[in-house]
A and B are shown apart, each in its own frame.
Chain A
């Protein structure tokens, strides 16, 4: 690389939201490597103040256009725990299936539309539609299946309509569930095609050891609720989320940074895998092994593969959830509740990692205080320090400015950041 170089990427494309990358090399030494989030803040935590609890999930889902189901369910879980509401078991399964749909949709969007173009040297998925039509088709088939699961369980692909406090307001019909089951079986070949495609790509070699944070419940691969755990051995109760985040502000970013036992930590598919790989379905475990993905994996680029592995898990798990719903009369889906004062945390595994909503209600069921901590917020510090280490490594390996820039943007994209979400 040249002795002096400045990489300055303003509003990094193919990520959700607005972030900048700045790398500066002076006299052959790395002078600066910064991950700068410049998204405009929206102040959701203030907007929900004074709002009736039943309306709040409809507002907080608008924090994110990609993981709106996760936000809705994080608020619902926090408010149900705060007001001591237990939803019916049928509703619990429907919600879980909704999370499966959202995760599949989000992972397919990231893998094909945001990440894949880098590996094929294309500016977007549009030219890939012509050069590799069967690959893009496979991606669209997976994404559509994810959306169909979300539409059937929540009424809409983005911003769910039937996820409510006390359960769900409408259950999918048996006919629809049978269609979905059929669709999962029919689309498996597209998942296999995707897996073969990713096998042909070579992921950059890069390791910076970090601490991976996720939920863990001991029985199932985590989606909704559980203990907060880290690969450094930290275990906390769901309500103690603040000790698992320790948010702080930095000058150059409108999104906060977090840390637990080290300088930084990571959340997301790779973190879930590193903490819960034994709870994956058998096919997902096989696919992970075939990619050489095993815990603890410290290569952030492998987050792409962990997402692919989770798609396999979702195929297996969604099928069994649908079977349980088909055996159910689907009548008991919503319990009435009496508003009361309380406070609790709702933690869910959004596609990009563990998401916390903490809610406090008054005796009339109005929200008096709210706090939301987003997965990307928990990844910002890790991205920032990774960029530093990756630029150092590229410098040592004598990479050109262009090669270094490409590695850096691929690194940030591999975290699948959801920036507008992180500056809620």
Chain B
């Protein structure tokens, strides 16, 4: 395709899913008004959810989901060998996501409860970078299509790509929302990475941190804020554990 007379090469892309709801891949088919233009930038080589054509010569692999079974490890390693750039796509791929909530339960008990005596293989939920090197992360549950478009265009035009470093509160304030702490809710906005346009607090529900921690957060100060507001530390813990994005901040266990 051409842009202002310059030829732009399409990028060969593959989209793959592991243990997940496939909601992040589905976002690729959203924002219908820009969809034909967006697809015009891509040479889709492998995307099982929407195409029966399967080729193994992609440069970028979008990988959705977490890893919970041995055959997934093998499949992921093959994708890594092929892809020049491997993108962890969505919170499950970036942090283990909601799937990590099952890691608290002994696997034997979970299988017995759901499947009875049937033999079913499952392992604790792992993020993609636990298995293979990841070149770029696009967090979100689901990912934001706008952000994905921006990043794909950046890659194609060889421009630097990055995620916002600041917390959700910045976007939330710009949308003139009433702070959820003032409404008596524990909101993870002060410590979570922005880029979602503060969609949850704008809908008057607290941020659960699906995009993981913002950069250089002051975690102890956040814990203190919850305490000062007289809000429930249990509620805070439940929210911090929701997407497993704050696993590296064990202080909240105290």
**A contact residues vs B (CB 8 Å cutoff):** 11, 13-17, 40-43, 45-47, 49, 51-52, 55, 58-59, 62-66, 68, 109, 113-114, 117, 123-126, 129, 136, 140-141, 143-144, 147, 154-159, 161-162, 164, 169-170, 249, 251, 254, 420-421
- Nearest-neighbour CB distance to chain B for A62, whole angstroms, equals 5
Nearest CB in chain B to that of A156: its residue: B199
Cα separation A223 to B42 with both chains bound (whole Å): 37
What number of residue pairs across chains A and B have CB atoms under 8 A from each other?
155
Query: Are B120 and A59 in contact, CB atoms less than 8 angstroms apart?
Result: no
Nearest CB in chain B to that of A49: its residue: B105
Query: Are B204 and A162 in contact, CB atoms less than 8 angstroms apart?
Result: yes
B25: Cβ under 8 A from any A Cβ? yes
B116: Cβ under 8 A from any A Cβ? yes
B217: Cβ under 8 A from any A Cβ? no
A-B contact pairs, 21 of them (CB 8 A): A14-B48, A14-B50, A14-B51, A16-B22, A41-B120, A47-B102, A65-B23, A65-B24, A66-B23, A113-B29, A113-B50, A114-B50, A124-B50, A124-B53, A143-B29, A156-B203, A158-B142, A161-B202, A162-B203, A162-B205, A249-B115
B35: Cβ under 8 A from any A Cβ? yes
Nearest CB in chain B to that of A47: its residue: B101
* Interfacial chain A residues near B47, Cβ < 8 Å: 124
Query: Are A52 and B26 in contact, CB atoms less than 8 angstroms apart?
Result: no
* Interfacial chain A residues near B44, Cβ < 8 Å: 124, 126
Query: Are B110 and A159 in contact, CB atoms less than 8 angstroms apart?
Result: no
Query: Are B27 and A158 in contact, CB atoms less than 8 angstroms apart?
Result: yes
- Nearest-neighbour CB distance to chain A for B90, whole angstroms, equals 9
Query: Are B242 and A59 in contact, CB atoms less than 8 angstroms apart?
Result: yes
Out of B51, B54, B69, B118, which one reaches A40, CB within 8 Å? B69
Cα separation A36 to B123 with both chains bound (whole Å): 21
* Interfacial chain A residues near B142, Cβ < 8 Å: 65, 158-159
For the complex of A and B, the 3 pairs showing the least CB-CB separation, nearest first, are A65-B23, A155-B203, A124-B51
B58: Cβ under 8 A from any A Cβ? no
* Interfacial chain A residues near B50, Cβ < 8 Å: 13-14, 113-114, 124-125
Query: Are A13 and B21 in contact, CB atoms less than 8 angstroms apart?
Result: no
Query: Are A147 and B26 in contact, CB atoms less than 8 angstroms apart?
Result: no
Interface string of B29-49 (1 = CB under 8 A from A): 110110110010000100111
